[in-house]
Amino acid sequence: MKILNRIIVIAVITLFLSCKSKCDKNSFKKEELLTTLNQFNLAFQNGDVKTLEAMITDNYIHTNGTSKAIHKKEWLNYLKKREHDIISGKLEVVDYNMDEIAIEFHCNSAIVTAKVKVITKTDKELKESAFRVTNLWVNNSGTWQRAAFHDGKID
């Protein structure tokens, strides 16, 4: 896990150091990113794979606290299975809430940290979970896309 965290930190630092022009923090409004976050979270809650695919970068990296990092193709495969479970009624996402959001802008990117609370229902059983998350978002030609994700389960 320590190696993975170091790789993520190195990737983030490299991204920020590659920013060659002077950063204009006002050019990427916080409201735009918050709107994008809300759209992303709603798409995830509803299992909308098509929308999620458009909202992540081609070199997307997704890491959960309990598994190794996966890339865009593997994450989309997971999402397709999840979408099927939602459509079939096997899985219901009763609530998906992101709060305690903090955003740090760096050139054309932003680090977003938050707390996510999820309530799901499977086989008539409710399950509540909470996670601390870190997201890396990049602004590509005026469009925010998620480039990386990491979470850790909390009590």
How is 20-64 classified by DSSP, letter by letter?
-SPP-GGGS-HHHHHHHHHHHHHHHHHT-HHHHHHTEEEEEEEE-
Give the model confidence (pLDDT) of 7-45 as tens digits.
Answer: 665 555 665 555 544 455 544 589 999 999 999 999 999
Q: Is residue 152's pLDDT more than 70?
A: yes
pLDDT at 20: 46
Q: Is residue 69's pLDDT more than 90?
A: yes
pLDDT at 139: 94
Q: Is residue 76's pLDDT more than 80?
A: yes
